[in-house]
Amino acid sequence: MLSTRLTLLMLVAMPSLMGVGTLMGSALRKLSRQCQEQIARATGVADEALGNVRTVRAFAMEQREEERYGAELEGSRCKAEALGRGIALFQGLSIIAFNCMVLGTLFIGGSLVAGQQLTGGDLMSFLVASQTVQR
C-alpha cells in the first residue's frame, strides 16, 4: 500500500531468492546425510577392528585395518569439507542477497522520494516491513 513499485520489486525478488535458497538447502541436507553416513562407515570400520583385535593381531592385519580406517576417515574429511564449503556459500549468498534487497529498496525508494512519489517516512516504513518479511 505504501509503494506499488517497491512491492512489485519485493514480489519478484523474494520468491526467486527463496527458490534458490530452497534448492541449495536441499542439496546441503543431502550432502549432510552423506557426510553422516561416511562417518558411520568409518566408525564401523574402527569398531570392527577394535572388536576383533585378537583376530586382527593373529593374522597380522594391523596395517591393513589401519589403511581401511584411514581411507574411510579421508572420505569423511572430503565430505565434511564439501559440506563446509556449501554452508559457507549458502550463508554468504544469503547475506549478499539480503543486503542487495535492502540496497535495491533504498535505491528505488530513494529515487521515488527524489521524484516526490513517496515520502521518506513511507520509504522507511516499507523498508522495516520488508525486512521483517525477509527475515
Phi, then psi, of 119 in degrees rounded to 5 = -90, 160
Cα–Cα nearest to 126, from 115, 113, 114, 116: 113
**Which residue range(s) make up the domain with 66?**
24-134
pLDDT tens readout for residues 5-45? 888 888 888 888 889 999 999 999 999 999 999 999 999 99
* C-alpha separations of 38 from 18, 45, 76 in Å: 30, 11, 5
Which pLDDT does position 105 carry in this prediction? 86
- Distance (Å) of CA 35 to CA 8, 40, 65, 77: 41, 9, 21, 9
pLDDT at position 72: 94
C-alpha cell at 30: 543431502
> What is the number of domains present in the chain?
1
Residue 3 within any structural domain of the chain? no
**Is 18 contained in some domain?**
no
- 37-60 pLDDT, tens per residue? 999 999 999 999 899 989 888 888
pLDDT in tens, 96-108: 988 888 888 888 8
The answer to whether the CB of 109 falls within 8 A of the CB of 118 is yes
**Does any domain span residue 15?**
no
Q: Tell me what pLDDT residue 1 has.
A: 72
Mean pLDDT along residues 77-86:
95
Residue 4 has pLDDT above 90, yes or no: no
